[in-house]
Structure 1
Amino acid sequence: MKGLTMLKKIISTAVMASSATFTMQAQADVSATVTLVSDYVYNGVSSTDGEPTLQGSVDWYNDAGFYAGAWASGLDEDSYAGAEIEIDYYAGYAGSISDSLGYDVGYAFYTYPGADDADGEYNYGELYGALTFNENTTAKLLYSDNYFGDVGSSLILYVSHTLSLPNEFSLTLEASHTKLLEDGGDMYFGPDAGDDSYNHWGASLAKSVAGFDLALSVTDTNIEDWGDIADARAVFSVSRSF
């Protein structure tokens, strides 16, 4: 199950490495990132059923604040109606209100090539907006009118705070609340049809070493009826940007 936002870029356990960028045109840059992750987890739920996978992204951005990109990851095909890969596209604008307050607004579209349409339409779009205070505290809101295909409209609230630690380590604490805004059919987060929301929380310890970004994360949810994919877990990521 997915939704990130480019939230997925904020709460994904994939680690963003320090970027080496090249100039596309005046005041515009492109970067590419490759990540090996021990488990693709979004909002506390595994999309690879606990298995490792490769992830990658290509991002364009300019000094005016506009950006666009694409991100891809492997999937557990049994959980995604035969789809073995997720490819997401996104575009937005980021700026600042003051020296201590920044914002980010945009649109993301999530696709699952190869998914069997007989199991429903998986592709969907999502609007998002975020505020960041002092570059380390973020609140983000994501809205979809067709969450995960045929489920219906949804709202996700995400918050995170990053602490700088000795020896150039950083610790990020995060939490999110996912809410279905209408009847979601079989997409419920517990044994009862009324379980239309769930909470996720996690922590990630990160450090850059020799041009690679490393992170060890722990995550959990209060979902009761999804088996192992929503249980507490630890995730390791290593990432490099070019």
Structure 2
Amino acid sequence: MNFKLSTLLAASLITCTSGIALAAESAVTLSGSAALTSDYRYRGLTQTQSDAALQAGFNFAHTSGVYAGVWGSNVNFGTDDPHLELDPYLGYSTELSAFASKPVLDVGVWYYNYPSASELNWAEFYARLTFGSLITADDSLMTNINYANDFLGDGAEGDQWYFNATYSIPFGAGFGGVASLGYTTTSDYEFDSKGSDDYLDWKVGVNYAIPMFDGLTAELAAVGTDIDTDDMSNVTKRGVETGAVFTLTKTF
């Protein structure tokens, strides 16, 4: 396990445990999460050569709606570097109470940061709108739009847009379901040998809140893309084709 990632996880767990005390004394709340996943898939694409990943993060949120945090994971792009992704972010969230459905608007910027390979760093702006209780109580639909002008840190400074919709629904007895569909389009990046500059990604899964451990959730999902794999090696194909991903997540 990467030493830096181990340190990040330990610091996150210690810091997040103190969140309740911090919330009682100020207008700032602290939350966090730690996860173990069989494959770190980013918009359908593996970031770990289809291997497992250990991930952790924490988030500071102010009562004004402003929030900031950092999230980290081990990565493997098939090269010597990088091995660690450590992403800071800053945003603002507010409920649109003027609308009957009271959706939540969330805007911000996310910085993809690779400490040992800074030439790959890039920033992305996002806007999300989340609707609750659309079909049944406690379900949700999150829609988001993301924009970057240096996608994947390739240096070409072309436009990249990402559109996504994710629906979550509880089934009862701790079980739930999730389904998402995303679309990536770029002006300067090719995803396959045919020169495609766009692709679809999807995810369909079930999750279970383990009752004996507060905040612990298990999820099994099918994740994939429609990227053409005709001229790809078996390792590369595995990282973009539909595959099963199992994830354990603990929130604090």
Q: Are 2:129 and 1:131 equivalent residues in the alignment?
A: yes
Q: Are 2:44 and 1:44 equivalent residues in the alignment?
A: yes
Flag structure 1 segments of 5+ consecutive residues without an equivalent: 1-18
**Equivalence for 1:7:** none
Question: Which structure 2 residues correspond to residues 1-242 of structure 1 after superposition, within 5 A?
Answer: 21-22=19-20, 23=22, 25-79=25-79, 82-98=81-97, 99-115=101-117, 121-134=119-132, 136-149=140-153, 150-151=155-156, 152-180=158-186, 182-184=187-189, 188-193=190-195, 195-209=196-210, 210-211=213-214, 212-225=216-229, 226-242=236-252
Of Structure 1 and Structure 2, which has the larger fraction of its residues in helix?
A: 2
Whole-Å separation in 2 of the counterparts to 1:162 and 1:238? 17
Deviations 1:114-155 (A, max 9, x none): 22x7xxx31000110011112601110000011111243200
Q: Is the 8 A contact 2:49 2:78 kept in 1?
A: no
- The alpha-carbon deviation at position 190 of structure 1 amounts to 2.2
Whole-Å separation in 1 of the counterparts to 2:70 and 2:159? 23
Aligned-partner SS, 2:173: helix
Whole-Å separation in 1 of the counterparts to 2:77 and 2:182? 26
The CA RMSD over aligned residues, in Å, is: 1.8
Q: Is the 8 A contact 2:150 2:160 kept in 1?
A: yes
- The alpha-carbon deviation at position 100 of structure 1 amounts to 2.8
Whole-Å separation in 2 of the counterparts to 1:183 and 1:29? 40
Whole-Å separation in 1 of the counterparts to 2:173 and 2:49? 34
| Structure 1 stretches of at least 4 aligned residues deviating more than 3 Å after TM superposition | none
Aligned-partner SS, 1:230: coil
Q: Name the stretch that deviates more: 197-206 or 226-235.
A: 226-235
Whole-Å separation in 1 of the counterparts to 2:169 and 2:251? 23
- The alpha-carbon deviation at position 201 of structure 1 amounts to 0.9
- The alpha-carbon deviation at position 241 of structure 1 amounts to 2.7
Whole-Å separation in 2 of the counterparts to 1:145 and 1:77? 21
Larger radius of gyration: 2
Aligned-partner SS, 1:82: coil
Q: Name the stretch that deviates more: 104-113 or 225-234.
A: 225-234
Letter in 2 for 1:33: S
Residues paired across the two proteins, number: 214
Flag structure 2 segments of 5+ consecutive residues without an equivalent: 1-15, 134-139, 230-235
- The alpha-carbon deviation at position 77 of structure 1 amounts to 4.7
Percent identity over the alignment is: 25
Structure with the bigger RCO (C-alpha within 8 Å, sep 6+) is 1
- The alpha-carbon deviation at position 166 of structure 1 amounts to 2.4
